[in-house]
Amino acid sequence: MRTEGSKAFYIHTFGCQMNQADSGIITALLKQEGYLPAESEDDAGIILLNTCAVRENAVDRIEHYLQHLQGLKKRNKGLIVGVAGCVPQFQREEMFSASPAIDFLAGPDTYRTLPLLIEQARIGLKPATLDFNAAETYEGIDPFRQGSISAFVPVMRGCNNMCAFCVVPFTRGRERSHPFSSVIREVQQLVASGYREVTLLGQNVNSYNDPEEHRNFAALLDAVSLAAPMARIRFTTSHPKDISEALVRTIAERPNICNHIHLPVQSGSSEMLGRMNRGHTIEDYRQKIALIRSVIPGVALTTDIIAGFCGEQEQDHQATLELLSEVQFDSAFMFFYSERPGTLAARTLADDVPESVKKRRLQEIIDLQNSISNKLYQEAVGSVEEVLAESESRRSSQQLMGRTATNRIVVFERENYQEGDLVNVLITSATSATLIGKCEHSDVHRS
Ligand code: SAH
Ligand code: SF4
Ligand code: F3S
Average pLDDT by stretches of 10, the chain with 447 residues: 75 95 96 94 95 91 93 92 95 93 96 97 95 93 92 96 96 96 96 96 95 95 97 96 96 97 98 98 98 96 98 98 98 97 96 98 98 97 96 91 97 94 96 93 53
* CB of 281 sitting under 6 A from ligand 3: no
Relative to beta strand 176-177, strand 156-157 is: antiparallel
- pTM to 2 decimal places: 0.94
Report yes or no on 171 lying in a domain.
yes
The answer to whether 399 and 428 are in contact (CB under 8 A) is: no
The verdict on the CB of residue 335 being under 6 Å from ligand 1 is yes
| Rounded CA Rg of the chain | 22
22, 70, 139 from 122: Cα distances, Å: 24, 16, 28
Please count the structural domains in the chain: 3
Query: So what's the pLDDT on residue 147?
Result: 87
Q: How high is the pLDDT of residue 395? A: 87
Backbone angles phi, psi at 219, to 5 degrees: -65, -40
Q: Which atom of ligand 3 is nearest to the CA of 167?
A: 7
Alpha-carbon distance of 1 to 182, in angstroms, equals 40
397 with 309, same domain?
no
Pocket lined around ligand 2, Cβ cut-off 6 Å: 159, 161, 163, 166, 168-169, 203-204, 239
Residue 378 placed within a domain: no
* Domain-located, residue 29: yes
The response to whether residue 338 sits with its C-beta less than 6 Å from ligand 1 reads yes
Q: Say yes or no: CB of residue 168 within 6 Å of ligand 3.
A: yes
Any domain includes 182:
yes
Whose CA is closest to atom 12 on ligand 1?
304
Ligand 1 atom with the shortest distance to the CA of 266: 15
In a domain, 120, yes or no: yes
Q: What is the CATH number of the domain that holds 397?
A: 2.40.50
pLDDT at 4: 58
Tell me whether strands 46-51 and 80-85 are parallel, antiparallel or unpaired. Answer: parallel
How many angstroms is it from 16 CA to the middle of ligand 3? 5
Q: Is the CB of 237 under 6 A from ligand 1?
A: yes
CATH number at residue 96: 3.40.50.12160
Residue nearest ligand 1's atom 15 by CA = 304
Q: What pLDDT, on a 0 to 100 scale, did the predictor assign at position 5? A: 66
Say whether both 76 and 17 belong to one domain. yes
Ligand 2 closest atom vs CA 169: 8
- Ligand 3 centre distance from Cα of residue 194 (Å): 29
Which residues, 6 or more positions from 29, have their beta carbon under 8 angstroms from its beta carbon? 111, 112, 114, 115, 141
CATH number of the domain at 256, please.
3.80.30.20
What is the CA(433)–ligand 1 centre distance, in A? 21
121 and 253 share one domain? no
φ/ψ of residue 294, rounded to 5: -75, -25
**Closest residue by CA, ligand 2 atom 5:** 161
Residue 2 lies in a domain: no
Q: How far is the CA of 19 from the centre of ligand 3 (A)?
A: 7
pLDDT for position 432 = 86
Distance CA 360, CA 39 (A): 42
Distance 166 CA to ligand 1 centre (A): 6
Say yes or no: 113 and 244 in one domain: no
- Residue 157: nearest ligand to its CA? 3
Q: Does residue 15 sit in the same domain as residue 99?
A: yes
Whether residues 71 and 116 share a domain: the answer is yes
CA-closest residue to ligand 3 atom 2: 52
pLDDT of res. 394: 87
Q: How far is the CA of 162 from the centre of ligand 2 (A)?
A: 7
Q: Whose CA is nearest to atom 13 of ligand 1?
A: 304
pLDDT score for 447: 45
Instruction: Say if residue 421 is in the same domain as residue 366.
Output: no
Q: Ligand 1 centroid to 298 CA: how many Å?
A: 26
Q: Is the CB of 239 inside a 6 Å radius of any atom of ligand 1?
A: yes
142 part of a folded domain? no
**Pocket lining: 54 vs ligand 3, CB cutoff 6 Å:** yes
* Cβ-contact 61, 344 below 8 angstroms: no
Domain span at 407: 384-445
